[in-house]
Amino acid sequence: MQDFANSFSLAFELLWRFDPALGEIVFLSLRVTFAAVLIACAIGLPIGAALAILRFPGRGLFVVLFNTLMGLPPVVVGLLVYMLLSNAGPLGVLRLLYTPGAMIIAQSVLVTPIIVALTHQVLSDLNAEYADTFRSMVVPWHKAAVTLLWDARYALLTVVLAGFGRAIAEVGAVIIVGGNINHVTRVMTTAIALETSKGDLALALALGLVLLMIALAVNAAVMAVRASARRMAYA
């Protein structure tokens, strides 16, 4: 199919020219995704650590719950957030619908369970190793949590990347709450959806390639950090 070749050359051309319209969309994609992952980490890392350390009744239930929520369909999250932020909804007064803020909220909801579930997994393993030492030294649980988070930081980078990957590639939620408004809430994925619906498959695929390259760059950067840490045997 000729479209493939077209798309590749188009993708490189777009990048080469540093098309300003594309730049705006890429920047917004990254801004929304980074903010969402940041918020998800601020919420998810402590919860994941608490689940790994604390033993309380119903803990297993929470673990199962967060593992299940990892598979939340983006469209459902989009709808829920839309219903919350709609003018007819309880948080309508915030006037967040159809703004990047709404997209950040939706993506945070999507990413948080991933961060919680994977953090819990990583830290449970490390806690199995540290638990006796923590107990011996009578380390309070919140200090133990910080210690686990810090000592597992390079393993947690992979967790954060998993969240990043989910957020940056997601379209179902952001198109509902963002509205795909040109220059305001248009991100890579919604732009791809739009070009597809215009039948401009080559451009859509080219945008997809650009998205892929961005994700690749982010992953490579994080992995490079991790690899150097592994050489230091901290990982």
Partner 1 sequence: MPDPRVLPFPTSPGEARPAARLPLTIRGLGFVADGTRILDGIDLDLADNRLTVIMGPNGAGKSVLLKLLHGLLAPSAGRILWGGRELDRQTRQRQAMVFQKPVLFRRSVRANLQFAVNLKKSPEATELLSILMDDLHLNDLADRPARLLSGGEQQRLALARALLLAPDILFLDEPCANLDPASVLLIEETLHKARAGGTKVLLVTHDLHQARRLAEDVVFLHRGRLTEHSDADSYFDTPASPEARAYLAGQILL
Partner 2 sequence: MLTRFFSASAAAVLALGVVATAPALADDDRFIIVQSTTSTQNSGLLDAILPQFKEKSGIEVRVVAVGTGQALKNARNGDGDVLLVHAKPAEEKFVADGFGVKRSDVMYNDFVIVGPKSDPAGIKGLSDAPLALRKIADSKAPFASRGDDSGTHKKERALWKMAEVDIGEASGSWYRETGSGMGATLNAAAGMGAYTMSDRATWIAFKNKGELAILTEGDDQLFNQYGVILVNPEKHAAVKKDDGQAFIDWLIGAEGQKAIAAYKVDGQQLFFPNAVKETN
Q: 206: which residues sit within 8 A by CB, 6+ positions away?
A: 6, 7, 8, 10, 11, 14
Question: Shortest approach of partner 1 to residue 130 CB, angstroms?
Answer: 6
194 makes contact with partner 2 (CB under 8 A): yes
- How many CB atoms sit inside 10 A of residue 105's CB? 23
For the beta carbon of residue 165, count every other beta carbon within 10 angstroms.
17
Nearest to 191 by CA among 1, 9, 14: 14
Which stretches of the chain are DSSP H helices?
Answer: 2-17, 20-53, 59-69, 74-85, 100-136, 141-151, 153-168, 172-178, 188-197, 201-231
Cα separation, 156 vs 235, in Å, equals: 10
129 binds, among partner 2, partner 1, none (CB under 5 to 8 A by kind): partner 1
172 touches partner 2 by CB under 8 A: no
Q: How many residues does the chain have?
A: 235
132 binds, among partner 2, partner 1, none (CB under 5 to 8 A by kind): partner 1
Choosing among partner 1, partner 2, none, which partner's interface includes residue 130 (Cβ < 5 to 8 Å by kind)?
partner 1
Q: How far out from the chain centre does Cα 46 lie?
A: 17
User: For partner 2, which stretch binds (CB under 8 A), given 53-61, 69-77, 189-197, 225-233?
Assistant: 189-197
Min dist. Cβ of residue 63 to partner 1 (A): 24
- 21 CB neighbour count, 10 Å cutoff: 12
Binding site for partner 1 (CB under 8 A): 129-130, 132-133, 135-139, 143, 147, 150-152, 232-235
Q: At its nearest, how many Å lie between partner 2 and the CB of residue 60?
A: 27
Residue 34 interacting partner from partner 1, partner 2, none (CB closer than 5 to 8 Å by kind): partner 2
Handedness of CA 171, 177, 179, 180 (dihedral sign): negative
In the complex, the smallest distance separating the C-beta of residue 152 from partner 1, rounded to whole angstroms, is 8
Q: Which of 9, 27, 54, 95 binds partner 2 (CB under 8 A)?
A: 95
Q: Which of residues 106-165 bind partner 2 (CB under 8 A)?
A: 142-143, 146-147, 149-150
Residues that bind partner 2 (CB under 8 A): 31, 34-35, 38-39, 41-42, 86-89, 92-93, 95-101, 104, 142-143, 146-147, 149-150, 179-182, 184, 194, 196-201
